[in-house]
Every structure is written in C-alpha cells, then in structure tokens.
Amino acid sequence: MVTPTMDLLSMRAFTKQKVRHSLSNERFTHWLPLFFGESDIYEVKRSHYVAETKKWEQKLEVINSKERCLHLLKKSMAYISSGSTRKPFKPEMILEIVPKLIVTHVADLIQEFRHVSILAIRRLMNFIRLFRLLIDLYPNIGE
C-alpha cells in the first residue's frame, strides 16, 4: 500500500525543513516528485564561493525541468523501494510503487476515506500522468 497525501510539497520543504505532516495533519515518510508535463529548459544564476580567489562568482546553469524531475523521481523511487538512494533505480520499482499509489488513492475515494473533490481528481490525474511518463520511458513495464 502506498498512501498519498493530497498536498503538494517541494523537495526543499521535505529535505531541508523536515516537513512530515500534511495540512490535514496526516503524517508521511517519503517524498515523490510529480510530473506536470513541462519540459522547459531554463537558465539559473547560481553563486558559489571560490576558495582560491576568496571571491563569490556567479555561474549560469542550464536546467531541463523534465530531466530534473526524472532524476529526482528515480532517486525517490529507489529510496521508497529499497530504503536507500545509493541503490540503483530499476524499472521494476515503477510497478512496485506507482500502481499501488493510484489504486490506494482510488480506493480511498470510493470508500469515502477522502473527500471526492476537484483536488482529489487532480491528484489522481497527476499520478496517472506520472505513470504514463514512466511507461513512455520504459515501454517494457507497460507490458
């Protein structure tokens, strides 16, 4: 069983600020990124300290949002499945996690453990979109 919360939470809030309760006070233990369909590439200026010159320098970094999401998704799924981000991601982990996530959410809606709302339906669509992305990347799991 994989029980999702209804709230969206950034990775920074989960990792740096240690947020572990939803707005409805549900406790959660893991974080999984969602894919919203964006595949934009954007540039970000990052400052870093150079010890040799003892100065801060700005560096332009190019970020592909889809690739970043996939990287975080693989790390997160490896952690949920094996308990370690150091263990490699395997496509079988997708079938271990995502269908359970979708089925648990649908079952909660049917049994009225969750209020059927636009938010609940949006979250379901987020999970399905995530599953479709992973099936497109790993066609053998679709079989």
pLDDT tens-digit series, residues 43-80:
888 888 988 988 999 888 888 888 989 999 999 999 99
pLDDT, averaged across the chain: 90
Element (H, E) at 48: strand 41-50
Of 104, 109, 108, the closest CA to residue 127 belongs to 104
Q: Which residues of 37-65 are buried (b: 16+ CB within 10 A; e: fewer)?
A: eeeeeeeeeeeeeeeeeeeeeeeeeeeee
Percent of the residues in the chain that have a pLDDT greater than 70, as a whole number: 100
The pLDDT score that the predictor gives to residue 128 is 94
| pTM assigned to the model | 0.79
Q: Does residue 85 carry a pLDDT above 80? A: no
Residue extents of the structural domains in the chain:
11-37+66-142
The pLDDT score that the predictor gives to residue 21 is 95
Q: Does residue 116 carry a pLDDT above 90? A: no
